[in-house]
Copies of this chain bind each other. A is one copy, B any other.
Amino acid sequence: MEILTRLQQEAGRLSPSEQRIADILFSDFDFAVNASIVDLAGRAEVSPPTVTRFARRLGCQSFSDFKVQLAQTPFVGARYLQPETLAVSAADITENVIAKAQAALFSLHRALDPAVLEAAADRIAAAQMIYAFGSGGNSAMIAGEIQNRLFRLGLRVTSSADHALQLMMTAAARPGDVIIGSSFSGRNTELVRAFELAREDNVFTIALTQTGSPVAKAAQLAIGVDLPEGNDIFRPTSTRLAYLALIDILANLTAMRLKEQATGTLRRIKRQLVTHRDPDDRQVLGD
């Protein structure tokens, strides 16, 4: 378990001396990470053994181990631990958002199964036509992104956020086509229905969703993205970043499989944009 989480758990049970050490941790994280045990003890006005005991209490093997674990915290946002309501300044919120985004990417990386990704990319690269489905602000954006990334590779792809349209497109799809559906919660029953319909018609389905959810079960290939949204209703974003990163990974894997074809198309698109809009070749593709 992560060290600052443990500290949070112990919070009430700390002795006065230990509390002083914890205070320094929160108020001057940088110092704590770089200081030696003597410095830290001095500043907390405790003895070095107390610091060692503190580290042990938090599940570290030694003080050095403690420092390494501290430094490894996904992000230096120590304030992240304190009650949410305290994060008010722009600097605080920035730190908080970035910290959560980093953590989301980190956990995405750990959870992804390369074999599943390869399989998905194989299907996408070989598809005759690709349909990207997703509804609601978040998944609709993801579906749009899938289209945005894949058409650049020279693939035929469309996207829809409209349930009725999704069903019609599914009905129109043919064997050899691929449907990619995204649902953060995994409980989008309309998407489940589309997947079931697709299966009857031999259209391959790929889900980007919560592991074990109805949507995951209905798809022929499910890529699990399991990230807690946290309880702050204002802040549902980090999961979206993870989804975007996932799409990027899939697009890259697909690109590897289409290399020649894709570079050609991309170059044409790029030349078009460049000559049309800006003589400077540094123009970024797509804006």
Contact = CB atoms under 8 A, between A and B. Distances in A.
Identical chains in the assembly:
2
A256 interface: yes
B287 A139 contact: yes
A203 interface: no
A241 B152 CA distance: 19
A207 interface: no
Majority SS of interface residues in chain A? helix
Nearest to A109: B98
A235 B252 contact: yes
A20 B149 CA distance: 40
Given A33-B72, A244-B244, A286 B144 contact: no
Contacts of A237: 244-245, 247-248, 251
Contact of A233 (B77, B188, B247, B266): B266
Contacts of A49: none
Contact of A97 (B138, B248, B273, B286): B248
B244 A68 contact: no
A121 B140 CA distance: 26
A215 B153 CA distance: 29
Interface string A62-91: 001101110110111100000000001111
Given A64-B64, A109-B98, A148-B141, A248 B266 contact: no
A45 interface: no
Given A91-B114, A189-B277, A245 B98 contact: yes
Contacts of A285: 233, 236
Contact of A118 (B90, B115, B229, B239): B90
A233 B183 contact: no
A5 interface: no
Interface in A227-281: 229, 233-237, 239-241, 244-245, 247-249, 251-253, 255-256, 262-263, 266-267, 270, 273, 277-278, 280
Contact of A137 (B148, B249, B256): B148
